[in-house]
Chains A and B, each alone.
Chain A
Amino acid sequence: MKTILTATILTLTATGAFAASHCAAGKTLTDGTLTIATGNPAYYPWVIDDAPEAGQGFEAAVAYALAEEMGFAAENVTWVRTSFDEAIQPGAKDFDLNMQQFSITADRDRVVDFSAPYYTAPQAVMTTVEAVEGGATPTMDSLKGMKWGVVASTTALPVVMEKIQPDQSPLVYDDNANITAAMQAGQIDAALFDLPTALFTAAVLMDNGVVLGQFDPSAAESPDQFGALMLEGSALKPCVDEALAALTDSGKLAAIEAEWLQDAVGVPLIK
């Protein structure tokens, strides 16, 4: 009774920001607050400068747009950090939503809930300037002959194994930083990331990185789509989906994507 009362009072007193929707009221960890988790650290261009509170970067911006659509003012959004494992472990979660480029897959969906996708990620191949000078081209034949590295917690490995079917078995790493180290040590020629991550890694983390090409996401049978992760059976899911649908319809999601993920053009498609 008390929570309902508080919620009502909050709804009555808050103006503007709270007026949009009451769907999420009482369904979050803390009433009146939306707790969103991101990675530790969170990478460009998803979150700029590892500071999601600033709302800069694609996922940070989407998070604040979602919150606003669901009736939470920006100051009522709190951020926490989780690893991938913490996001999927059983038991209570310390977040309402977790946004860190989680690819939606049927297997994962059995254990946790995903929102509708907020981004369809083209997969892209990162390699080195030396490999390109050595004759690497964005063609399947060329990709097959390369030594591959992927990050274990991503969906890249099945893509490499099924789509590219490389001659040598890929090496697998914990995170982007280790991929970078292995590539600089000459242990791998190529790595598969989502395009924005590939562009960032090639430009910032690597001295000699280059994005060789991207797979056409519209041609993929099951394109890599990012969704916000929630506890299995989360009551919040319909609200998040509704808010995402509203953001998509109003064109706001596309605008955020255009603002933060713009430099995707100009990367050749892999033939």
Chain B
Amino acid sequence: MSTRRAAYEARQRRRANLLAGASTLVVLGLLVLLVPLAPGWAAVKSSFFDGEIFARTFPDLARAFLINIAIFAWSVPLIMVLGLAIALARGARAPVLFPMRIFGAIYVDLFRGIPVVLLVYLVGFGIPGLGLPRPWNSPYIWGTVALVLTYSAYVAEVLRSGIESIHASQRNAAICLGLSERDTMRYVILPQAIRRVVPANMNMLVALQKDVALLSFIGPVEILRQAGIFKSLLANFTPYVVAAVIFLCVTVPATRYADYLMNRDRDART
């Protein structure tokens, strides 16, 4: 059944795969052979890749990672809701709503411009320092607030770019059909805009998953802190490698999924 062209293409593909495989093997082989030849390899190996410490600290670190997941899980809905609200505020068209546009712009400038770590410190220690009673001064609450403030500013910008990417003709068409401004946004613009920025928001979530670890600065013993505790008790950096592996187990599938969504979106549009 196959044409001469198909046979040729199959040959070319096999050749390309073979070459790619061979060059990958050579690079890996060189890494495996050469890195251990470095004079400090034995020391680096025992302080970063100690198998016994890896096994000893893995269960505790995996347990600590549950805290990261919990913080992540309750932050995401808050970020999405607030991010959407800010994006809509920035996009408000009515002249009376101008203060909202200003507010949205200042909010985004402010919280996107401050490093997350600073915000975690400022909000995490500062607001409880005003004299809130327990449990309302918990670092979990105010650390989450810091994350939500930062990430909602990012998400607001992503959503706004999505809203602006919807062609003006859509809005005009909706108005012609007699939809109100509100309904146009609700039923015409947002469904398309949100779908269009899903991949960008997935990247935000991957970044958020890693930034949850910053809450360790104000007390919670999540995975990064737990790894730091082991590091100082064992004078060995292997626990950090364990933490990195655990992070990768979550972030790699998440980024692959974002890539998949992005490709699907691109294919659908071409």
Contact = CB atoms under 8 A, between A and B. Distances in A.
A174 interface: yes
A108 B232 CA distance: 8
Contacts of B43: 90-91
A209 interface: no
Interface stretch (B12-20, B24-32, B194-202, B218-226): B218-226
Given A84-B232, A186-B128, A172 B44 contact: no
B235 A171 contact: no
Interface stretch (A24-32, A153-161, A248-256): A153-161
19 contacts: A90-B44, A90-B47, A91-B43, A91-B44, A107-B236, A111-B47, A111-B236, A155-B233, A171-B219, A173-B218, A178-B125, A178-B218, A181-B129, A184-B129, A185-B129, A186-B131, A186-B132, A187-B139, A187-B219
Contacts of A89: 47, 237
A140 B216 CA distance: 28
A110 B234 CA distance: 9
A112 B43 CA distance: 11
Contact of A185 (B125, B225, B229): B125
A188 B229 CA distance: 18
A227 interface: no
Contacts of B125: 178, 181-182, 185
B235 A88 contact: yes
A185 B126 CA distance: 7
A154 to B, nearest CB: 7
B229 A182 contact: no
A71 interface: no
A192 to B, nearest CB: 14
A152 interface: yes
Nearest to B39: A91
A105 B48 CA distance: 19
Contacts of B133: 186
B40 interface: yes
Contacts of B47: 88-90, 111
A152 B133 CA distance: 26
A149 interface: yes
B134 interface: yes
A171 B139 contact: yes
Instruction: State which size class the interface on B falls in.
Output: 20 to 34
A249 to B, nearest CB: 30
Contacts of A149: 219
Contacts of B48: 90
Interface of A: 84-85, 88-91, 105, 107-108, 110-112, 149, 152-155, 157-158, 169-174, 178, 181-182, 184-188
Sort A-B residue pairs by CB-CB distance and give the 7 closest, nearest first. A171-B219, A90-B43, A185-B128, A108-B235, A153-B232, A111-B235, A185-B129
B2 to A, nearest CB: 57
Given A88-B235, A90-B40, A152-B225, 9 more contacts: A89-B237, A90-B47, A111-B47, A170-B221, A171-B139, A171-B219, A172-B228, A186-B129, A187-B139
Contacts of B126: 185
A182 B232 CA distance: 21
A91 B48 CA distance: 12
Contacts of B107: none
B37 to A, nearest CB: 16
Interface in B133-179: 133-134, 137-139
Nearest to A150: B229
Nearest to A110: B235
A111 B46 contact: yes
A206 to B, nearest CB: 13
Contacts of A90: 40, 43-44, 46-48
A141 B219 CA distance: 24
B217 interface: yes
Contact of B128 (A108, A169, A170, A187): A187
A88 B46 CA distance: 12
A107 B234 CA distance: 5
A198 B40 CA distance: 39
Nearest to B127: A185
A169 B221 contact: yes
A107 B129 contact: no
A260 B128 CA distance: 36
Nearest to B221: A172
B234 A185 contact: no
Nearest to A155: B233
Nearest to A87: B235
Contacts of A112: 235
B233 A158 contact: yes
A194 to B, nearest CB: 15
Contact of A187 (B40, B138, B216): B138
Contact of B235 (A91, A107, A158, A186): A107
A170 B129 CA distance: 19
A84 B232 CA distance: 8
Interface in B93-138: 125-126, 128-129, 131-134, 137-138
